Each structure stands twice: as C-alpha cells, then as structure tokens.
Amino acid sequence: MSLEEYTPSSNFISDIIEEDLKAGKYRGVHTRFPPEPNGYLHIGHAKSICLNFGLAEKYRGLCNLRFDDTNPIKEEAEYAESIIEDVRWLGFDWGDRLFYASDYFEKLYEYAVQLIRNGKAYVDDLSAEEIRQYRGTLTEPGRESPHRSRPVEENLALFGRMRAGEFGDGSRTLRAKIDMASGNLNMRDPVMYRILKSPHLRTGDKWRIYPMYDWAHGLSDSIEGITHSICTLEFEDHRPLYDWFLDALGAYRPKQMEFARLNISYTVMSKRKLLRLVQEGHVSGWNDPRMPTLSGLRRRGYTPEAIRNFCDRIGVAKTYSVVDIALLEHCLRENLNRSAPRVMAVLRPLRVVIDNYPENVVEELEALNNPEDPGMGTRRIPFSRVLYIEQEDFREEPPKDFFRLAPGREVRLKHAYIIKCERVVKDEKTGEITGLHCTYDPETKSGSPKGERKVKGTLHWVSAAHAHKAEVRLYDHLFVKPETEDENQCPDFKSCLNPNSLEVLKPCYVEPGMAGAAAGSRYQFLRLGYFCVDSASSSDGMPVFNRTATLRDTWAKIEKKQKTAGK
C-alpha cells in the first residue's frame, strides 16, 4: 500500500468528522500528533500517527507534529530526533508545522495569569502528598486547600516569584479553582504548574516552572487551530477539564475525541516498561529488533507499508481489546511476499560432495528473483561439486512423512539437479554427521527438456566455494505469555520475558550475490523466512541478517477458517 493510496477506513471518528463538516461546524480538518519526547515511538503510536495524518489526508486537511515537551526531567533531544525519523519513515509529512509545547510557554504563562486575575486559579503551598490526601476518593469528596482563598494580588505575586525561581522544587503549585466535590477527580482543583528547576532541552534554564499536560495540551490545540483533538481512551475523563480551561479563558475550543489504544499480544506498550527493558539490559537498546518500537521494527525488517496496512485493518474502536500479533506478522508477510527478492541461504550447514560431478566445473544456474513479480528479473547462481545444505534436511533414519534427504533417497536441489545420498561421513569420536557423499543425475537439470522427473523433496543449497559467510539472528517474541498486562499471567511483566527470544547462528552461508547487500535490504531466504540486513552492526566483517518473520502464517489460516465457517 503506497502512501498515495493510504487513507484510514471509515470509523466512528471519521463519521463524527463528516457530520461536523456537513453541519458547517468547521471549514476543514486540522489534526495533530502530540508525542512526548521521553522515549522512542512504538507500534501503538503508529496507530495514532496513521489515524491523525490519515484523517487529514482523507479530508484534504492538515496535521501538525507537536512535541509535548513539558517535563524536562524525562525528555531528551535523542528522543525528539528519533520521533521525527519514525514519523517520516512511516511516510507522513507535516510540512512547516513542526511545533513544541515549549513554543507557547510564554503564552501559557499569560493565560495562567489571566485565570488568576479572574479568580479561577490560586497558588497552593500544599505538598504533592498533601494534595493527594486532600483530593478525596471516588466515593468521598475532596477538601479545599487552606490556601484556596488567597487574594488575587497575593496569588499573582507568588506566581511571579515561582517563575523567578525564588522557591524550591515542589514547594508550591498553581492550581485551577474548580470543584473539590466534583465526581470527576480531574476537576478537583488540578495542578496547572509545578516548580521544577531542571534545564529544558529547548529553553535551557529560562524557566523554573513548567505546565502540566492537561493545561498545556488543550491550549496548544487551541493556539494551533486544531479542529479535532484525537486522544486515547484514558483521556476521556480529562475531556471536561480540557473544555473547562478553554471556556474559562474564552478561547477557541477544538473537539476532543477518544479511541482505544492499541494492545498487541506478546508485547508491552508502556514506555515506562520499555525504558526498564533498555536500562536493565534485557535488550540491546530502544532499536533492538525484539522491541515493539518503530526503530526496532524497522531494524528487524518491517516495512512502513505493512504497518500502515495493519493499522488500517485493526480499525478504530471505543473498547479495550488485544490484537493478535499474528495479524501484524500477516500484514508484513503480505507485503514482503510481493516485494522481497528470493535468495538461498544455509543457516546450519551440512557439507555435501557430489562425487560424479566434475571437480573443476562451475555452472551458472538461472533463478527468478521473485515469482510473484517477474518484473524483478532473474539472477545467476554458481553450482559446483561441493555444496552446503541444511542439517535438518537430512535424516540417517528418516521418520514417516520425511521427504527430504536420507541414505539411498533422492531429492531435487532448487534450480539445479536431482541428487541421491550414497554415503554418510561421521566424526570418529562423537559419531556426529559431518558430511554426505551424493551422486547427481545430469539429465535432471531444472528447466531442461529432460529435467522434469519428479521427486517428493526439494532443498535449498549454496555452493561451498562461492558462498559468502554471514551471521544470522533468529528473533522470536520478547514475551512468552500473550497477555502481558494480565496480572494472572504476568504478575511482573519481566517474569514473562522469553529467554529464547534471540538465537545467533554463525557462520551461515548465503549466495555470493549477497556479499554487498545494503543495510536494511529485505529478502526471503527460501524455505526459511524473511530476513533483513542489520542496519546497526556487522560480525567479523560478515553481514548480519535479522529474521524478520518466519514463512508460516498463522493468521492466514485463522482467516481461512473464519471464511469457511461463514459459508
């Protein structure tokens, strides 16, 4: 799916937007994607990115990229740079509309002063713990702070001194004066500003106070002229506060709408948990190919087209659910099946000598690069007397229904000849199989008039003299339990980490044409799966290939069963 073809499918949010446009509430659509630069984006953010930018595309509107940089303790320039890279990689463009909440710090301060003057905000001396105690519970109303009735002029003076840095961190806050008995805890005099003497990634040491998310978010939307502020479901209870702040200031108010965030089996979506995995060394970094981050998925070999297709297929809903990771992998396979060139690679090599093949002869065999797309052309593969095949493709004592190589048995070598196993070579001490001696039938060359004799098994292979050494990393799910957020399955999310999520194989052997494969290039290794050239490392001069996905597609089988049952 190209970006030109991409617009999100209809959903309840697009239905609301269409009703608003028909009613003339808005002249156009203006959305935004507002990430916090406190971590790397993950696949859950991709859903929001595709939704916000996709709706703007669908209705020929605009979408801003705006960083919610209101907490300097957790924010870093590295995170902001990675977010910009990820959104661009997905295929979206914000034009000249890259903004930061910090762009509006002065304006937000002026708005706060306006609320104080109007008697709708006050400086509070309660500590964070005392504020929690005064807040009440879902069944009990809160209590008013003893500082709630401070005179306007005193509040203005104290707020100015807070900005000037005269007080210690956390010693005072600015709170909205709303209703301590409200049934919505977010409306019980929420904090608007806190004292935090930490340098900011963009404003340095200019500010000693920083706005809270609920205060900065709605006003930033208003300042930018956003029409539809689309948030995840946990912000539904914050919507009355979003509206109250803007109405109290007489400011333009966008329409906030909420949708259920993305949850995927065998995955965690909490940035806090992902940060722990990085900091505690359970993964190699934010871009570890096992991570659900967009940089990790990109390094593993995922395509932006597959992720956009996945986000479109899962839809937009109002209720919590967990999406089977098999659907994400299915979307990936669909895309790679059409786009990835086929090559042969041997991961666990077993040496094969074809005794009746001439010793100094090398044939160049022709193979299609992708049978799904003949336009991708063909390539030449060297064939010689000594080859490597997969260890698992040979059994000395084959079980029933094993159609690969065994003593006295014939198989076809892909694009080449039929061979027959004549003798097994073993290590004298261990008894381990170290090689095979075979013969070939020269009349069975693939594509030749006499080469159509049928056998049950077909194996991939590489020429030992011409193959290029490589390291291959086999990745699996990072967690062993599908419901990582379910405390019954995973009391502590780290207790469900998969100890076998990475297996490193070397040396492996790939076709000689793979020696100069560019970082990020994706291939299908015949019979083995989809692989990508690692973009961040090499091993002893060898290219490193990350397994992107296996060939087995469980979701396709699920869909087939569902369609059959529906008939």
Q: Among all residues, which ones are annotated catalytic? A: 36, 261, 271
Q: Buried b vs exposed e over 350-384: b needs ≥16 C-beta within 10 Å?
A: bebbbeebeeeeeeebebebbeeeeebeebebbbb
* Cβ–Cβ under 8 Å, residues 55 and 61: yes
CA dist 501 and 265 (Å) reads: 15
Residue 193: Cβ within 10 Å count? 25
| Cα 217 from chain centroid (whole Å) | 25
d(CA 385, CA 382): 10
Cite the beta strand spans of 394-485 per DSSP E. 410-413, 418-426, 433-441, 458-459, 462-463, 468-475
Q: Is 283 left (phi over 0), alpha (psi -120 to 50) or beta?
A: beta
Q: For the beta carbon of residue 539, count every other beta carbon within 10 angstroms.
A: 16
- Three-state secondary structure readout of 312-370: HHHCCCCCCCCECHHHHHHHHHHHHHHHCCEECEECCEEEEEECCCCCCCCEEEEEECC
Three-state DSSP state, 567: coil
- Residue 200: other Cβ atoms inside 10 A: 20
The three-class DSSP label of residue 169 is coil
35, 41, 45, 47: CA torsion to nearest 10: 130
**C-alpha span between 106 and 169 (Å, rounded):** 20
Q: Nearest Cα to 125, choosing from 150, 105, 95, 93? A: 150
Which residue bears the tokens 């990820």? Answer: 86
Measure CA 371 to chain center.
Answer: 29
Structure tokens at 285: 């970094």
